């Protein structure tokens, strides 16, 4: 097993459609602004200037990941679960299975999560 995981470790052996979907999710995240990556065996975490705000990795179902938001998104079919983990933050676990899942709503959630990564959850 690899001790220091990389993005390539997560993509190696994945179905090409899942890799394409992961790259599309990654592109949406990167469109929000500068990010750094923290890669572990379980996920690829995207960090803003203040904190990590999103994670994603290919799975046999598409792309599984999470978005840290100041609200729960439970009720949307892409959201598998949401739970509070700080006073005003929820981790929203998602699964997307096609490029069609990456609609304007999903892009909006990513933008909200990026704002958390930049410290928006500390305001007000």
SS (H, E, C) 45-78: EEECCCCEEEEEEEECCEEEEEEEECCCCECECC
Query: Tell me: the pLDDT tens digits for 6-44?
Result: 999 999 999 999 999 999 999 999 999 999 999 999 999
With respect to residue 104, please indicate whether it lies within any of the assigned structural domains: yes
With respect to residue 2, please indicate whether it lies within any of the assigned structural domains: no
The torsion angle over the Cα atoms of residues 26, 81, 16 and 42, rounded to 10 degrees, is 80
With respect to residue 41, please indicate whether it lies within any of the assigned structural domains: yes
Q: Report whether pLDDT(2) > 50.
A: no
Cβ pair 40, 51 in contact under 8 A: no
Domain count for the chain? 1
Residue 123 confidence (pLDDT):
65
| pTM of the predicted protein model | 0.93
With respect to residue 116, please indicate whether it lies within any of the assigned structural domains: yes
Q: Considering the chain, what is the average pLDDT of its residues?
A: 94
* Cα(48)–Cα(93) distance, integer angstroms: 19
With respect to residue 54, please indicate whether it lies within any of the assigned structural domains: yes
Mean pLDDT on 66-95: 95
Query: Tell me: the pLDDT tens digits for 56-77?
Result: 999 999 999 999 999 999 999 9
């Amino acid at each position: 097993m690899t001790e220091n995981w990389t993005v390539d470790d997560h993509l190696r052996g994945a179905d090409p459609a899942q890799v394409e979907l992961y790259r599309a999710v990654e592109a949406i995240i990167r469109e929000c602004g500068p990010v750094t990556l923290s890669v572990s065996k379980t996920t690829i975490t995207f960090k803003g200037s203040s904190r990590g705000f999103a994670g994603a990795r290919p799975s046999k179902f598409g792309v599984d990941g999470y978005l840290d938001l100041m609200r729960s998104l439970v009720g949307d079919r892409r959201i598998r679960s949401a739970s509070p983990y700080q006073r005003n933050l929820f981790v929203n676990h998602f699964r997307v299975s096609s490029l069609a899942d990456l609609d304007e709503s999903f892009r909006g959630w990513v933008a909200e999560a990026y704002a958390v990564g930049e410290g928006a959850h500390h305001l007000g």
